[in-house]
Structure 1
């Protein structure tokens, strides 16, 4: 098995499409496609589902991805150790992220980054909007939905699930819905519709065609707190709801899936401090992957 094939597979899995991966690797799309086919033959399993909107990693592909990422991480760590480059990482990196991912997941784990790179200064801006990398509003951004324009480097960070949740106190008072249609008789918590900044977040209609929110909150954190307090039923991020004993997951078969993408400007590709942060977030998500893929 050729390590280059595994490296190409990593690029396709992270980019989510052949064209973007080929550009990132500096090879033709035709060559990359042939190498992927060769890699799948060597492994003996289909690793990618190819569609008109890009490539999706299969179940076998996810297992291979985790193994390949571990090998890559060990190689990079070894190179960094030999070259003594950890001490060279310094300066400020501003990370822009959706409030749910930024506040609930990333912020509590930033101490690990500073411990590894004590000369690095990190600014986290977790707000519910998009960031302009060209205008340097952020050095690295986590986005919902893959950006298609601009001189950007893009890497798939992780898929994540969203499900219906309610607090036990609310269900004790209002009763538990037995069908999705029953939701019409409940207090529903959702986004402020005219403040939704990306179509990827306009998902309430996917859960219930005529969803009507009684309580509208413009942030994921705000919706989470409203539902947890017993205000009503809402569509929450599974990784935020995990480990909350007072939250009940309703209709788990109706889980929705979205994707976080790590994005940074082409001009920042040689900045070691930026690459360190990008790789750090990859490792965090890989280590806590069950949070994002709740069964």
Structure 2
């Protein structure tokens, strides 16, 4: 049986995109060609690699087994490319980071811009999605998480703590009854998450403030902070986001304050890739400095 790297590359693209069209976009190949190559690979291996449905292409049991081998081949190819390029120069290639949109909007852009400026041949992608990323399927090269995962062959590094407080716009506070204690919040409009779309228990901020009803809800941190900025109501916001929104101030900081942490999550096998190690080190240091700088401004 002769399985080529080109075959595995197409297999990986379909597994990650969960569709022929998505894999075609990744590889810049016609989807029909992708389908033929997958069919040929399945014939060569004597087993179906995907379960096809209207929802897309999901890995079969045989596909799951092949996935681990394919990823290791991919890492070996990347390792050879790194060695040939030499380790003394700047970072090159593409690196994709998955992140919750708070970090993705207010911390990562400036951190990654500085890294990219020092490495002009490096392409950085930030995927801001309010959900947990699947590193096994290689949805991203590394992920910023708000709680450490407990399953899978993953490498987890704590990056930094960050603070959250109640906040409102000055315009809202001028137009509504004064707030001097947590109990006063009951008479105010509240901005927060859509309850059934909270993908991590660490994001259930309002419950810790004793607030159960949310008047203006979104699964996006950016939408929430903009509602607060526009005078929509009171919300729990990241301290590092406040410098970006004029006219928003913290409320009752002595009575209510939350501390959360960011974690860098990578696939364990990626620790052998020097390029990703160097990028991860720069990312962690940059995020620690940027969160501290922004929180100092509040």
Could you say whether these structures have the same fold, taking a TM-score greater than 0.5 normalized by the shorter chain as the test? yes
CA contact (8 A) 1:97 1:141 kept: yes
Shift of 1:232: 0.4
Partner of residue 226, structure 1: 227
Give yes or no for the alignment of 1:186 onto 2:193.
no
Indicate how the Cα distance of structure 1 residues 86 and 233 shifts in structure 2: closer, same or farther if over 3 A, else same. Answer: farther
Question: How far apart in 1 are the matches of 2:212 and 2:293?
Answer: 27
Give yes or no for the alignment of 1:236 onto 2:237.
yes
Question: Runs of 5+ in structure 2 lacking a partner?
Answer: 1-85
Shift of 1:243: 5.9
1:158 to 140, 157, 160: 160
Question: Runs of 5+ in structure 1 lacking a partner?
Answer: 1-83
CA contact (8 A) 1:159 1:292 kept: no
Question: How far apart in 1 are the matches of 2:194 and 2:156?
Answer: 28
Structure of larger gyration radius: 2
Shift of 1:187: 0.4
TM-score normalized by the length of structure 2: 0.67
CA contact (8 A) 1:161 1:292 kept: no
Partner of residue 249, structure 2: 248
CA contact (8 A) 1:156 1:261 kept: yes
CA contact (8 A) 1:96 1:138 kept: yes
Q: Deviations over 1:62-121 (max 9, x none)?
A: xxxxxxxxxxxxxxxxxxxxxx73426322111001101011111133221112222211
Shift of 1:273: 2.3
2:284 to 282, 285, 293: 282
The 5-angstrom pairing of residues 134-173 of structure 1 reads: 134-173=136-175
Aligned residues: CA RMSD: 1.9
Classify the secondary structure of the residue corresponding to 2:272: coil
Give yes or no for the alignment of 1:217 onto 2:213.
no
Shift of 1:291: 4.2
Question: How far apart in 2 are the matches of 1:291 and 1:197?
Answer: 28
Partner of residue 9, structure 1: none
Q: How many pairs align?
A: 212
TM-score normalized by the length of structure 1: 0.68
CA contact (8 A) 2:108 2:287 kept: no
